[in-house]
Structure 1
Amino acid sequence: MTKIYHNPRCSKSRQGLEILENSGKPFEIVKYLDDNLSAKALTEIVTLLGIKPIELVRKNEAIWKSDFKGKDLTDTEVIEAMANNPKLIERPIVINGKKAVIGRPPSLILDIL
């Protein structure tokens, strides 16, 4: 089943959710700000996306700028930073089986449906 990691306050995430709703296919919504993702779950997501953990970080967030910017972090440290500060996670993330995409722009979601 398709899964969207969703932040209702984010316009891109809402647009991604709308794409899934319009697809008519079943999907699951994960509000990752309410139910924090574990480091293990984030590692699995990064692997499915085929990216480095740093590519999943929202670098304009205040917490990134104040606590992490300019530091030489390992992939594990970046994952831990996102697990402990879920606002740092880029959104929306949509996973469909073994395919995953960051929905920026949201139209990218169509590629994996």
Structure 2
Amino acid sequence: MTTIYHNPRCSKSRQTLQLLEENNLQPEIRLYLQDTPSIDEIKTLLAQLDITPLELMRTKEAAYKELGLNKDSTDEERLQAMHKTPALIERPIVIHNDKAKIGRPPEDVLTLFK
């Protein structure tokens, strides 16, 4: 099973989905801005990606500052923020066989299938 955390308005997300389809992969598409991941799902993503909450965050989004987040914020504060404001989650994310990759650049996700 392959899943993509997808935002159709994001060019990298669209490119990643297209790349998967060109490689005969038909991922389940999760529109994570509407289908907000739970905190436990975000923790699972972090484990699959092997990164920290800060590394998963889009720190240049206006919401990052609006929510009072900064380099001194705790991981718990970051998890809560990503749950409440999923636009803060880096995109796209492709999950395959309990591993995940962020599609930046889109070609990075292909390493999941080797």
TM-score normalised to structure 2 length: 0.93
CA contact (8 A) 2:69 2:78 kept: no
Matched position secondary structure for 1:29: strand
1:56-67 pair list within 5 angstroms: 56-67=56-67
CA distance in 1, matches of 2:77, 2:71: 10
CA contact (8 A) 2:3 2:95 kept: yes
Distance of aligned partners of 1:69 and 1:77 in 2 relative to their CA distance in 1, 3 Å threshold: closer
CA contact (8 A) 2:3 2:94 kept: yes
Instruction: Spell out structure 1 runs of 4+ moving beyond 4 A.
Output: none
Matched position secondary structure for 2:83: helix
CA contact (8 A) 2:67 2:81 kept: no
Q: CA deviation at 1:26?
A: 3.2
Q: CA deviation at 1:69?
A: 3.5
**Superposition RMSD on alpha carbons, in Å?**
1.2
1:33-112 pair list within 5 angstroms: 33-70=33-70, 72-112=72-112
CA distance in 2, matches of 1:94, 1:83: 18
User: Which ranges in structure 2 are unaligned for 5 or more consecutive residues?
Assistant: none
CA distance in 1, matches of 2:54, 2:20: 26
CA contact (8 A) 1:19 1:109 kept: no
Report what 2:28 is aligned to: 28
Identical amino acids, percent of aligned pairs: 50
TM-score normalised to structure 1 length: 0.94
Q: CA deviation at 1:20?
A: 1.2
